[in-house]
């Protein structure tokens, strides 16, 4: 299954979107996207928190399970929450395994580079497909802030080292978030596995967006890396407005919506 993604490198662009619920997953399952990510972005766009740090393994399992119901045949990657990995190998493998066994994910994603190679190796050794995530790492906000990476030659060198260390440890793909296009291009050229970019320019092997961002659900945010493909905020608000008007005016329910004996 995962090899299908790896084989796309250099042949066709890979498309990934985040998803957190059954009905959206059902829609995604009827599209041509390649991967669904149950991202820990659920901390911000579902739970309304300022960061992703509070997300728990239980929450990712819950959302992965309901996404799996809507998209039974999709390749689903589940995000490993902050501190659910990288503390001890045993804990990391156990939590990754839970996302697959209890959530129904096909693979897990974790944020970090060379420092995590050891943990990635332990996971892939027991059959857990792992996706890496380098560049801007939202789980490390308290250390680095939301800073675009890969602006200097030193930073680019370090990112390439991260990508290669992850590749050698066995990841099947790497998300590159929030880097200069130049950095993402060089990283992509230096690894044999596909890179999937968000805010990393056009040269990565694929792209990922947070679904609520690309659907325009939050009128208060519009990130430079994002494109709003529709404006669900206005669509939902207008629909609720029409419903409210019709109820107030006695126009809803109409004969079409009423049961008679």
Site for ligand KIV in 188-227 (CB under 6 A): 198, 208, 210
Q: Kindly compute the dihedral angle of the four CA atoms of residues 54, 85, 107, 60, in this order, to the nearest 10 degrees.
A: -20
Closest CB to ligand KIV among residues 157, 227: 227
Cβ 16 to ligand KIV, closest distance in Å? 8
Among 66, 99, 117, 175, binds ligand KIV (CB under 6 A): 175
| Residue 33 makes contact with ligand KIV by CB under 6 A | no
Q: Does residue 177 have an active-site annotation?
A: yes
| Residue 39 makes contact with ligand KIV by CB under 6 A | yes
Residue whose C-alpha is closest to residue 73's, from 104, 117, 29, 125:
29
Tokens of 217: 């659900």
Cα gap 157→252, rounded to integer Å? 63
CA–CA distances in Å: residue 39 to residues 66, 164, 177, 199, 211: 13, 23, 13, 16, 10
| Residue 18 makes contact with ligand KIV by CB under 6 A | yes
| Residue 123 makes contact with ligand KIV by CB under 6 A | no
| Residue 34 makes contact with ligand KIV by CB under 6 A | no
Distance of CA 9 to the CA centre of its chain: 19
Tokens of 73: 């045949």
Among 24, 33, 34, 41, binds ligand KIV (CB under 6 A): 41
Site for ligand KIV in 57-116 (CB under 6 A): 79
Per rule CB under 6 A, count of chain residues that contact ligand KIV: 11
DSSP H or E segment with residue 135: strand 130-135
Q: Which residues bind ligand KIV (CB under 6 A)?
A: 18, 37, 39-41, 79, 175, 177, 198, 208, 210
Instruction: Enumerate the active-site residues.
Output: 177
């Amino acid at each position: 299954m995962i090899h299908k993604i790896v084989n796309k490198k250099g042949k066709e662009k890979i498309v990934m979107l985040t998803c957190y619920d059954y009905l959206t997953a059902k829609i995604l399952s009827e599209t041509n996207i390649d991967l669904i990510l149950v991202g820990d972005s659920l901390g911000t766009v579902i739970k309304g928190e300022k960061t992703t740090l509070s997300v728990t393994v239980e929450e990712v399992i819950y959302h992965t399970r309901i996404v799996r119901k809507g998209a039974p045949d999709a390749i689903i990657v589940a995000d490993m929450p902050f501190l659910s990995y990288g503390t001890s190998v045993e804990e990391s493998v156990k939590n990754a395994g839970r996302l697959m066994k209890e959530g129904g994910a096909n693979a897990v994603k974790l944020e970090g580079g060379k420092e995590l190679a050891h943990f990635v190796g332990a996971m892939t050794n027991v059959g857990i497909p792992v996706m890496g995530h380098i560049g801007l790492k939202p789980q490390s906000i308290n250390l680095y802030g939301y800073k675009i990476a890969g602006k200097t030659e030193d930073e680019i060198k370090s990112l390439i080292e991260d990508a290669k260390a992850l590749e050698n440890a066995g990841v099947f793909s790497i998300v590159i978030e929030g880097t200069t296009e130049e950095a993402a291009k060089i990283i992509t050229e230096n690894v044999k596995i596909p890179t999937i970019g968000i805010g990393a320019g056009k040269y990565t092997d694929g792209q990922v967006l947070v679904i609520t961002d690309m659907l325009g659900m939050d009128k208060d945010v519009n990130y430079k890396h994002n494109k709003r493909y529709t404006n669900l905020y206005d669509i939902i608000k207008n629909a609720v407005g029409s419903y409210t008007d019709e109820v107030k005016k006695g126009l809803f329910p109409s004969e079409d919506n009423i049961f008679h004996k």
